[in-house]
Amino acid sequence: MGKRKAVFLDRDGTINVEVQYLNAVADFQFIPGVPRALQRLKEAGFLLVVVTNQSGIGRGYYDEAALEAVHEHMHAELAQAGAAIDACYFCPHHPEHALGDYRQECACRKPLPGMLQQAALDLDIDLAASFMVGDKLADVEAGINAGCTPLMVLTGYGSAHLPRCPAGVQVCPDLPAAVEAILALAGL
Ligand SMILES: [Mg+2]
Ligand SMILES: [Zn+2]
């Protein structure tokens, strides 16, 4: 079992404003307060790991280079705020709507926990001491399936998915509020 604690973060609708199949740097916009909130998690000793479903790649809407460009932009902006992301994992697959090799029943598409489990191996993470924050039911379920503590935010699709959120899951207005909740839960 790993030794480090992490906060796993969904991207679209959690870190940045939800845009359908975001694939251009010009369309990337942080949800207010997010860079500062992520800086607080770093200061508290958490690894920051983005785990994002990107079936738009598999569907042929954009390619992995476009995704990398968006992530480089996100990294650069966050680095300026002292909130460097430690790793990004993405799932380009879809079981029905993707093309070629991207069409598969993979182990990484949330709500499956594959990306979180891979990160735990790569970065020596203690999943039971870690958290998963996202705006969709699939994010909450991925966190539960990985053995993390899930939190749901109401930005992005959060309000729409809230009625299906399992009982007992902490719900927060946005990622900055979720960070406050995590720091309280962790006794920090
Ligand atoms: Mg999302
Ligand atoms: Zn996948």
- Radius of gyration (C-alpha) of the chain in whole angstroms: 15
Which fold, 6-185? Rossmann fold (3.40.50)
What is the distance in A from the centroid of ligand 1 to the CA of 99?
A: 22
Closest ligand by atom to 54 CA:
2
The ligand minimizing its distance to the Cα of 157 is: 1
Write down the domain spans for the chain. Answer: 6-185
Question: What is the whole-number distance in angstroms between the Cα of residue 110 and the centre of ligand 2?
Answer: 8
Q: Could you tell me which residues come within 8 angstroms of residue 141 by beta carbon, excluding any fewer than 6 positions away? A: 110, 111, 150
For residues 18 and 56, is the Cβ–Cβ distance under 8 A? Answer: no
In angstroms, rounded to a whole number, what is the distance separating the alpha carbons of residues 70 and 24?
A: 6
d(C-alpha 59, C-alpha 70), whole Å? 18
Per residue in 129-166, pLDDT (tens digit) is 999 999 999 999 999 999 999 999 999 999 999 999 99
Strand arrangement, sheet containing 149-153: 87-91, 47-53, 6-9, 131-134, 149-153, 170-172
DSSP 181: H
Does the pLDDT at position 1 exceed 80?
A: no
Q: What is the pLDDT of residues 52-68, one digit of tens each?
A: 999 999 999 999 999 99
Ligand 2: distance of its center to the CA of 55 in Å?
Answer: 8
Mean pLDDT in residue range 29-37: 97
Q: Which residues pair with 133 in a beta bridge?
A: 9, 151
* Tens of pLDDT, residues 14-32: 999 999 999 999 999 999 9
Q: Say whether 88 sits in a helix, a strand or coil.
A: strand
For residue 98, give the ligand nearest its CA.
Answer: 2
188 pLDDT tier (thresholds 50, 70, 90): confident
Taking only the tens place, the pLDDT of each residue in 92-115 is 999 999 999 999 999 999 999 999
How many Å lie between the centroid of ligand 1 and the Cα of residue 137? Answer: 9
Nearest to 53 by CA among 102, 8, 110: 110
